Structures are given as structure tokens and as C-alpha cells.
Structure 1
Amino acid sequence: MRLQLTSPVSDPSHERYGQHLSIHEVTDLVKPSDESLDLVHSWLEDNGIPTSHCEYSPAKDWIKISLPINAIENLLDTQYSVFEHSEGGYLVRAPEWSVPKHLHEHITAIQPTTSFFSPQKLGRTFKKVLDISADTPPPSTNNPPRNTDPAIIAACNATLVTPLCLRTLYGTVNYTVQSASKNSIALNDFLGESNNRSDTKLFLQRYRPDAVSGADKFSVQLIANGNNEQTQENATELAAGKDMEGNLDSETIISLSYPTPLIAYSTGGSPPFTPDLLTPTNTNEPYLEWLNYVLNQTSLPQVISTSYADDEQSVPLSYALSVCAGFAQLGARGVSLFFGSGDAGVGQDGACVSNDGKNVSTFLAMFPTSCPYITSVGATKFIPEIVATDASNGFVSGGGFSRYFARPSYQDAIVTPYIKALGTQFSGLYNASGRAYPDLSAQGYHYSTIWNGSLMPLDGTSASTPTVASIFSLVNDDLIAKGKPPMGFLNPWLYSVGYKGFMDVVNGSAIGCGTTGFPAKEGWDAVSGFGTPWFPSIRELAANASAAVVAR
């Protein structure tokens, strides 16, 4: 069973708005039927696998089994092999798999099997490493227009984004956290990333001295052998840029939301295969590992930021649908999920070809940001803000339309006029009836980041995503202080009234696939969403939406 796109608890017009569900209520909604469980259990037992070997998600909609490789091959009538990924690393996968016909309507997905996708970090490295003692980077060759607001001019340098700039630009600089004991925010680390406390402390000492203690206080929850390495990176790790992504996330979130408690989820994964010389590390997809962990928790952070994605078409549809349904469960429980919209515009030049056997030209949607149950975040640069790009490393803020997920009803009135205005431009390259993204944006260009003890400016929607997540964590802080529920799944509120709290971005486009890509326009567009946040307005709109329900 799937949760409805516009759940009453997420719909500002509904009398149940804000009345988020408990873990038990969500479990009752999504649990499989007794018939489905009985049939799957019988199938396993017929293959010599007792139910005592099964591990279950809270709703028992996912079953995890650890077995020898030959037992799995017999169970699925297939053969697993070791495949080398073109970008490095190895995957243990099967070219095909099957289950008895009577189980087809009862089993949605089995992983890992035929999927070869590899989630990517969304941070792009600026080419020059700057000395930590320097106050500002070298002068930029760009000459962006400057905002006439004296406070913003004083706080923001065109070539380096700092916490003070973000707090001033988006209106949180004078806000005092009130509900730190009842509110929390989280980030996701995948692919061996961790959040270096030493680097985070250096960053806070430099840019947010009153928040330095946050570097020691954030908690780390390890999932499926996740990583929490705090020692100095070796030469191989430095060459790979290990922890750039993790540091960017922790430094941004603490500097913007302190003293709100931060949780870092570090997910490895435990594929049902014995590691060997060719597959020494986990090769399982991380999202389900993470979901099965957090959905089992009775207490959850109100906001979670995730800076990873991959081409949607590389993700098996059954897997994407299952993961997206898990995100819906979190939203119904009062969690706001933010994902970066991607760092290659509508697709990286030379790679914009379908993988369905037809090999036709296509824009490349990204997953999980294409899931309609999450809030997708694009990136901007400069002041006034325009769509973020960086020719030095190929970064272009992502945007587009899903081929897997239909456009949700909350988007119809907003997105349809944009598509109509495009006319026949890009006809056939995208799914005009698909879920459109991003939903909103924030600065994502030349973010000040401390990595390996040095100042490293980074680009990417992995910068804008924790920024927006932090701002909405402060919105939740204010709501909780007023005795109101947190925002939870944002999008129905965002598309009906919340968009009024955002500053429109009208210049730039999601360049890619040898085209100019989707352009920024007045109102919502498929590269900047509704634009960038203005906290004072969002704070008021969120409180009023909650108050309107209470008044009924």
C-alpha cells in the first residue's frame, strides 16, 4: 500500500494538517497483507530458508536475509558475478533473476540484483585550494551585480560564501534558537564519507566562534558498518577527496542552525555476500539500509539533509518506488527530507542517452531528488542570485522532470504553465507529465569549507541542500516554541502558500546535454524552483498555516 501524495497531515487546507503519524500508525498503513507474508515465508521455507533467518523492517514490508551466494542463486534462479564499475570499485550483481509467478504480485523488489547504479556525491571541487590564513580568495574574473542592501554587501563576498553571508542573505542572522531540547537536524553520509570534527572546529572558530562546541557535540549513528573515521586521511584518501562532502555538510549545518542538535547518519551497508579480494567493501545501495534503520526509530530528527544522487534511469524502477515510499513514511511522521537536485544541469554532455535499448537522446533525471515525497534543492550564485554554474569544474545546478514518478497533484497548477511556456522546445527530451524539480534553491557556489586543515571552496547542490535544511530547522524551532508541530513533508504547503516566502530567481538555466537546458523564469521553474528562502516570511507563513488549522 502506498501513502497518498497529499496526505491530510501535510495539506494546509485539511483539518488534520500537522497531526503527524506515529511509527505504529505508519506501520499499519504500509504493512503487507497476511497473505503476502505467508506466501513469501512458504517460498523461503520450500527453499530450505527458515523464517528465523529473516530480519524485518518495522512494517515487515522489507525482509533481509543473509545467505551463501549459491543459496541466493538457487533461490532466484540466477548467477551472480563481480562487475567492475567504470568509475572505480566493484559490484556483485546478477544479469537477471526470477521468482515463482504466484509471487509476482506480492514481491516488489529484490536487492541487490540487476541494479548497477552508484550514488554520487553532489559536491564539486573548486580547482584552487586557498590558504587558511587568507581572509578572501583571489579576485574573481566575474563581475556579478551586487545587492544594494548594505548589510548583505557587508556580509557577502562575491567569490566566497560564508555562514555570515548566508545568515544575512536569508534572514536568520538575528534569530535565536529557542527549542534545542525538542528539535534536531540530521545529515546523511554515504560512500565512506564521515564528518571530521577537527576540520569542523577550525571552520567554526573562523566563521561562527559561538558555535565551536558544536563540533564536539554532534552525534554519529553508524548504520551497516558506516564510517566515523576521525584520524588524518592517508595519501589515497586525500587524493580521492574523502570527507569533503561530509565536512561541507556538518560545517554548513552547525554554522547555520547552532545550537540545534545535529545527528550524522553514516551508512555503509551489509550486502548478503562474503567480502573477498575483488569485493572488499560493501557494494549494496545505501538508501534502503538507511531507511530500514531510521524507520525503526521511535524518535526522529525533524529535518534530514542528503547530498547524494544518481541518474534516475540507472536505478531499477522497483527499487526507486520502494525507496520513495519509505521517504513518504518519514514525511507522514513529521520529517522534512531535503535532497540536492544534481550537479550536471539536465545531464552531462555525451551521456544523455536512454538505457532502455532504444538509445535515444534524453535529458537525465536524477534520483532520489525526483521522488515526489521529498523537497528538491537547486543551487544559485552571486547577489542578486542567478542559477549556479562553474566552468572550471563543469558544475551546473540540476533540474528536470522524472520519468519514473508522475507529476503530483500539488504541482499541477504551478508546473503546467511553465511547461506550456516552453512550447515545443526540448520536445521528446523530457517527460512533461513527470514530477518536476527542484522545488526551491539556495547558494551553492564557492562555499567556504575547511578540509584537511585548509580552506577549500566547494560548489554543488550539496552546499545548497544543507543550507535550506538548516533554515527549515530554524522554522521548526520557532513552531515548536509556539507549541505547534514541525513542518513534516513540505511540498503541499510549499506549492499552495509557502512559495510566497521565497525570492524569485529569473536568470540562468540548467545547461546540459548539448542544450541550454530548462531556463529560469518568473515564478516556479525547473532549475531554481520557487527561488531562495527569506526566513522571516517563511517563519510567518508556516506559523499562520498551523494557526489556521488550530482555529477550526
Structure 2
Amino acid sequence: MLKALSLLLLVGTTRGEFTVLERRDSPPSGFSRVGPSPSDTVLNLRLAALTQNNISGLHDTVYEVSTPGNSRYSQYLSKEKVEAFVAPSKETLNGVNAWLKTNNLTSSPITAAGDWIAVSLTVSQANALLAAGFSTFQNTESNQTVHRTLSYSIPAALRTGINMTKLSTVTNRSSPTTSISSDCPDNWTPTCIQALYGVPSTPATPAANAFGVCGFNNEFADEKDLTAFLETYRPDIASNTTFSLISIDDGINNQLPSGAEENPTIGLQYALGLATGIPVAFISTGTGSTDSIDVFTAFLDEPNYLLSLAQPPQTVVQTFDSVGFKFESSFTPQLAESICHLLYAQLAARGVSYIVNGGDFGACNPFSSTGCRAWDVAIGGHLWGRLFQHFYDKVVSEYLNAIDATDASPFNISRRAVPDISALAHSPLIFQGQTVSGQSGTVFSATIFASMIALLNNERIAAGKSSLGFLNPLIYQNPGAFNDFATGWDPVTGFGSPSYAKLREICQKI
């Protein structure tokens, strides 16, 4: 039988003693060991972090092209120029291929730059190659079985580091900034949200602009529900307005009632209900299961596919919510950073605004243990690794000083602080033919803000300008574009809720 496995291997050359690369004392929560994996089971390994040519150059470029006022602002890179930053050296490729050849194995690239490769091999080959002990583990809730190892090794000389991060944005409830209906506080419909944040309702004239809404694990939104949502809450636009499909890893949109899920439903209904006139694409990434490694594979394959496009969507919102963070908690820091530092950094260099909801648990999220949020805008609330801190270190330090935070505080004061901003997280939707009122979640917040960015990107492109790309430098330079609930940044609402008019004014000047 064929089983998929994704491993992070940090590799360089082939000589020297073997060293343990990753090890954990016990399986992730919810999994128990059944016994050794059958020796003839086929594993598909993802080998990552082949030494890139110039990662620091990529990161420097991202900040230069994303920071208003910089001479390189908005001069985003082509697909080929981004790939040149991350392509591994010939020495690295030769070393890895020699190591595999010694074990009668070959690899194939899974990225255009060749910095991620795939190797198919049996459990017995993997145990020998990696000094590992692959076993069958069973999920206690779903009874699903997977083949994993708690420890693996590579030649010591093959080990090199990869430091990568990702950018985030957060969302919560916010107070009104304009005159709105008295009914709105009980029912934050698209019309109420437009009034609250000043979002235009007149259909935009589409430029070369697209808005991507992500779904994972074969989740999708029911088109009949979308039609009913538009008929109910946006009767001023055509109810047959719909979305296109981008399928990754055989991601589906088969419209079977059992496959529809709330998060992509929220994402698509509010993207189409708020970003009026902007073409929306549903990015469906299928994995077939929700164990942590398969979630990692989805998080790897989605940005890789977007990077392969000559023109990826300029605005992308990720709808994967707290369940995703639960499985993400079993990622090692190397796995998380390999995706964040490299793949999402490349999207930023291409001018993509990638917006992530921070999850419903905020800084008290009981699931997440990794420190990975830096190349997207985060809407929610956690304190993560402060890996690219120069654009927000001042405001976060001011907050920590104000509350007299120390190393004994119930959060890690050295890590990346989120949220960046906040927005409503409480609105109605139509799901499985029923109106669901009072639904809450930061997926609402992220989609609201992403819809505003999609509209602003469209205006800029129509005016002959670039998209906004990596948003955090702009946000932290312009806290006045947000309606704050306290003085300065705070870990509940960030800088506060966005004002479309103020953001538009800033975007017209840069």
C-alpha cells in the first residue's frame, strides 16, 4: 500500500558521521503506536531545506519591496528572480544525490527552484537510510493509521539550517466608525460591515486582479448556500455570482452536501459579499486526512503551487482555523520555519498579500507550540516568534514596558506578537440551507480585512500601480489607518479595526 510521508531534511554534503536530525519522545497527542510498519510499505518523503543560494537576500528584498518609502517599494520580483534566490547550489544537489545514490535511490524536484525534492522508498529502505524505526500509529478518535518515525538521522555533513518565517494578521470585534443601522449590532450582515468600515458597495471594475480563498482537506463551500446568501444579504448584485476553482493535490469542489464546511463557506460568502466585483478563486488543497503530516503537506503544496503560477492571486486569505493550529502544534520548529521562512517569503516577494486568521484562542491558544507567523498578516491573537521584529519591535516593546512584562510573564516576551489588527468576528452565514446567526470566528475577521485589501489592490492595479504585497510594513507605519480601542498596539486588537477610507488615502499616495 502507498502512504504519504513528509519529512524535513536539512542537507548539505555527504561525508561524516550520522547525527540525529529530529526526535520526539512520544507521538503527538491523540496517536498511539500499534507496532512496526510493514517493511514493504511505500513512503513518499519530502526532503526540504536544501541549502539555498541567497535566503538572506530574499528576505532583504521582501522588506525593501514591501516598505513604503523605500526606493524599491512595490518593485516585486518575477517568478524566475525569486527562484534564483532559493535554488540550491550545485554542491548541495550533488551531495544529496550522491547520498541517495549510495542507497540506490533517486529524487525528483517538487519545486521549480529544486530546493524541495521527493523520494519514494520502502519502510525498510527508509529505516536504513535514516537510521529510523518506522511504526504504525493510530489516531484514537478517527482510528486512522499512519506510518511515522519518532527519530531519524542523516550524515552529519548533510545537515544545514533553514531559517524562515511568515507574516500574520488578527481579527476581533470592533466598534462602529460610521453611522449604521440600529439592527447591525445584532446582525452584522455584509451591508452593516460595509457601513462599519466604509467598504464600497459599488461593483469594482475588475483589473488584472484576483482574490483567493483557501480551503484544505477537501473542504469546500456549497454553491446553493452562496446563492441564497447573496439573495438574502446582497440583493443588489447578481445571485448567480460565483467563484472559480484552483485545485491542488486533487482538491475537490464536488458540491456533495457532506463535503461542505463552515470555514470555506464563511470565506467565500463574505469574499463575494464584500469584495464586490472582484473575481474570487477558491483554492482547494486536498490531502484526504487531517493528521499533522498531511496538514504540513497541504501547507507546503499550496504556496508551492501559487509560486508556480506566472501571476498568482494578489490577495489570499487562509480560512483554516483553530483545528489547523491543533495539528500545527505537532510540527517541529524546523518544519514550520521551512514553510514560513521560504515559501511565504517568496509569495511576499511576488507581491502577494497573504492574510491569516489567528485562530479563536488568541494568546491562550492551547494547541499551538510553534513560533511561525511573519510573512502574512495575522488576524486573531497569539504571541509568536518575533523573527522579523524591526517593523513592530517598537510598538510591542512599548506595550511590554507598559504592563511591566518580564521573563516570568505567562507568555514568551521574546516572540512574535499578534494580532496586527482586528475586525468583526461575528456574522451570519447560510450553511446547508439554513441561516446560522451568531456564528463567531476569526475567519470572519480575516475575510473582512482581506476583502478590503482585494478592493484596494484592484484600485491600485487599475491605476497602473502594483499590488500592496506584504502588508505589515505598511500597517506598522500607519497605525492611524486603524480605529484603536486603546493607546498603541495591544495583544487583543493589535492596532484596532481598519478604515477603508484611510487605507485608500494611504494607498493613493504610495
Q: TM-score, normalised by structure 2?
A: 0.80
Question: Which aligned pairs between 1:199-218 and structure 2 lie closer than 5 A?
Answer: 199-213=225-239, 215-216=241-242, 218=243
How many Å apart are 1:194 and its aligned residue?
0.8
Who is 2:351 aligned against? 334
d(CA) in 1 for partners of 2:300 and 2:235?
37
Asked if 1 retains the 8 angstrom alpha-carbon contact of 2:332 and 2:370, the reply is: no
For residue 169 of structure 1, give the secondary structure of its aligned residue in structure 2. Answer: helix
For residue 80 of structure 2, give the secondary structure of its aligned residue in structure 1. Answer: helix
d(CA) in 1 for partners of 2:357 and 2:299?
15
Say if 2:85 is the partner of 1:67: no
Asked if 2 retains the 8 angstrom alpha-carbon contact of 1:198 and 1:215, the reply is: no
Cα distance change, pair 123–428 in 1 and its aligned pair in 2 (3 A) = closer
Q: Which amino acid counterpart does residue 213 of structure 2 have in structure 1?
A: L
Runs of 5+ in structure 1 lacking a partner?
110-121, 125-143, 272-277, 353-363, 379-398, 506-520, 546-552
How many Å apart are 1:258 and its aligned residue?
2.5
Deviates more, 1:304-313 or 1:259-268: 304-313
Work out the number of aligned pairs and report it.
Answer: 441
Q: Deviations over 1:336-377 (max 9, x none)?
A: 0100111113225xx58xxxxxxxxxxx5676xx42111001
C-alpha RMSD of the superposition: 2.9
d(CA) in 2 for partners of 1:298 and 1:147?
40
Question: Which aligned pairs between 1:192-231 and structure 2 lie closer than 5 A?
Answer: 192-213=218-239, 215-216=241-242, 218-231=243-256
d(CA) in 2 for partners of 1:375 and 1:99?
36
d(CA) in 1 for partners of 2:399 and 2:198?
29
Say if 2:144 is the partner of 1:164: no
d(CA) in 1 for partners of 2:240 and 2:334?
40
Who is 1:295 aligned against? 307
Asked if 2 retains the 8 angstrom alpha-carbon contact of 1:347 and 1:365, the reply is: no
Who is 1:314 aligned against? 330
d(CA) in 1 for partners of 2:158 and 2:488?
47
How many Å apart are 1:60 and its aligned residue?
0.9
Cα distance change, pair 84–214 in 1 and its aligned pair in 2 (3 A) = farther
Say if 2:403 is the partner of 1:422: yes
d(CA) in 2 for partners of 1:123 and 1:532?
8
Say if 2:428 is the partner of 1:448: yes
For residue 64 of structure 1, give the secondary structure of its aligned residue in structure 2. Answer: strand
Aligned partner (choices 263, 267, 277) of residue 259 of structure 1: 277
How many Å apart are 1:20 and its aligned residue?
0.6
Who is 1:533 aligned against? 498
Who is 1:9 aligned against? 65
Aligned partner (choices 181, 184, 190) of residue 153 of structure 1: 181
How many Å apart are 1:196 and its aligned residue?
1.3
d(CA) in 2 for partners of 1:210 and 1:67?
56
Q: Deviations over 1:47-100 (max 9, x none)?
A: 11134xx13302111112333333333322212223233554444321111111
For residue 362 of structure 2, give the secondary structure of its aligned residue in structure 1. Answer: coil
Asked if 1 retains the 8 angstrom alpha-carbon contact of 2:387 and 2:416, the reply is: yes
Aligned partner (choices 372, 375, 379) of residue 374 of structure 2: 372
d(CA) in 2 for partners of 1:418 and 1:99?
44
Q: Percent identity?
A: 30
For residue 392 of structure 2, give the secondary structure of its aligned residue in structure 1. Answer: helix
Asked if 2 retains the 8 angstrom alpha-carbon contact of 1:184 and 1:302, the reply is: yes
Q: Which amino acid counterpart does residue 65 of structure 2 have in structure 1?
A: V
Asked if 2 retains the 8 angstrom alpha-carbon contact of 1:337 and 1:374, the reply is: yes
Question: Which aligned pairs between 1:150-549 and structure 2 lie closer than 5 A?
Answer: 151-154=179-182, 156-178=183-205, 180-213=206-239, 215-216=241-242, 218-233=243-258, 242-269=260-287, 285-308=297-320, 309-310=324-325, 313-324=329-340, 325-347=342-364, 351=366, 370-378=372-380, 399-403=381-385, 405-424=386-405, 427-445=408-426, 447-457=427-437, 458-497=439-478, 499-505=479-485, 521-545=486-510
Q: Deviations over 1:9-43 (max 9, x none)?
A: 01112111011111111111111111111111111
Cα distance change, pair 460–146 in 1 and its aligned pair in 2 (3 A) = closer
How many Å apart are 1:7 and its aligned residue?
2.0
Cα distance change, pair 148–524 in 1 and its aligned pair in 2 (3 A) = closer
Question: Which aligned pairs between 1:18-57 and structure 2 lie closer than 5 A?
Answer: 18-51=74-107, 54-57=108-111
Who is 1:550 aligned against? none
d(CA) in 1 for partners of 2:473 and 2:174?
34
Q: Deviations over 1:204-260 (max 9, x none)?
A: 1111124345643x1111111212120232xxx6xxxx5111111110100011221
